[in-house]
Amino acid sequence: MCQYSSPADGTATDWHLAHLGSRAVAGVGLVMTEATAVSRDGRISPHDLGIWSDNQVPGLRRVTDFLRQHGAVSGVQLAHAGRKASRLPAWEGGGFLQPEGGGWETLGPSALAYDRTGLAVPREMTLTEIDAVVDDFGAATRRAREAGFDVIEIHAAHGYLLHSFMSALSNTRDDQYGGDYEARTRLLREVITRVREEWGERPLFVRISVVEAFESPDSWTLADSERIAGWLIDQGVDLIDCSTGGLVPGAGIFGDTPAYQLEYSEALRRVGATTAVVGGITEPAQAEEILRDGKADLVLLGRELLRNPGWVGRAAAELGVPRPAPPQYFRAYRPGESTALLTERTH
């Protein structure tokens, strides 16, 4: 979940160490960064976390070292915001930043604004700029390795750059990166190929919007996702993180029902993908049922872990398994409630 807490140079701060580290201390198995920009113009806001410079590696390494010391696997989400870049942080309204206010030129597959109001119309990317994006993802992958991350997730959902190339709603190009399905997915496929070359056999996830949930013949559909899932499986992508929407304002699957996006994880599992489910998962029994019934292979929590950093301890207690906790927290447990990580030092 975006924190908008980096200085202009995109480095990780004490906030990131405390925010991500507290989840590791609380027993979260995989702790993943927010969308982390592979280039300066790929930031959502001026305060995004970045991985476009070697100067950003030490701060990220400080975070991954801490996560590893406390038993968590560390993940980084590599992203380029595309036409949704140059925005204010959410708590400042999230509006687009004009150049005179510290914003920058946004880029996209075509000169079509996210909000269709004529504001922040992106510049259609040249072939040279598209090649540079592939290089940026490759260089970011090298830095992720140097920073000690265990997992990379490529963000190709929610209307950001890679997703905007995939959808005919936002991509009206007539060259090798636009037109039919093969051309529109070419950038994603090139990025994944480059990342895999740099990353080796380490775990690689891809986040997609399985459906756009927008009534148009040009919308990306479940059938399109099933098709790209087959290619991702063939390329050795380890997991598809299943979300929805985000390409146009108000489009997506939203609801108050538990696990409201679960059907999309189930659909991609049926075509052979390993999947993660997100959205509306708040109860431990609910998460356990999803895994037990084979509807997803991994449960990812975002907002719920913001609301309740100790969710894993609650889940362990409700499900009757050892509670993960560092020895420093031994006074939180009654005799006989020793946790998976408590040792003799608690006495």
- Residues with active-site annotation: 160
φ and ψ of 14, to 5 deg? -60, -30
Classified as helix, coil or strand, 37 is strand
CA dist 147 → 16, 17, 286, 321, 326 (Å): 14, 14, 34, 33, 24
Alpha helical stretches, state H, 214-328: 222-234, 262-270, 284-292, 303-307, 311-319
Strands (E), the chain: 30-37, 73-79, 107-108, 123-124, 151-156, 204-209, 239-243, 275-277, 298-299
**In this structure, are residues 123 and 108 in contact, taking their beta carbons and an 8 Å threshold?**
yes
Q: How many CA atoms lie within 13 A of 241 on its CB side?
A: 21
Classified as helix, coil or strand, 291 is helix
CA nearest to 280, candidates 256, 296, 298: 256
d(CA 122, CA 106): 5
